[in-house]
Amino acid sequence: MSKAESKHILDKLFGSRIRVKLLRFLFRNYPARFGAHELSKKIQEPLDDLKKELGLLAELGLVKKNKI
Q: How crowded is residue 18: how many other Cβ atoms within 10 Å of its Cβ?
A: 19
SS3 content of the chain, % helix, strand, coil (to 5): 65, 0, 35
pLDDT (0 to 100) of residue 59: 87
Residues of the chain whose pLDDT is less than 50? none
pLDDT (0 to 100) of residue 13: 67
Write down the domain spans for the chain: 3-59
Q: Does domain 3-59 have CATH number 1.20.1300?
A: no
pTM of the model: 0.78
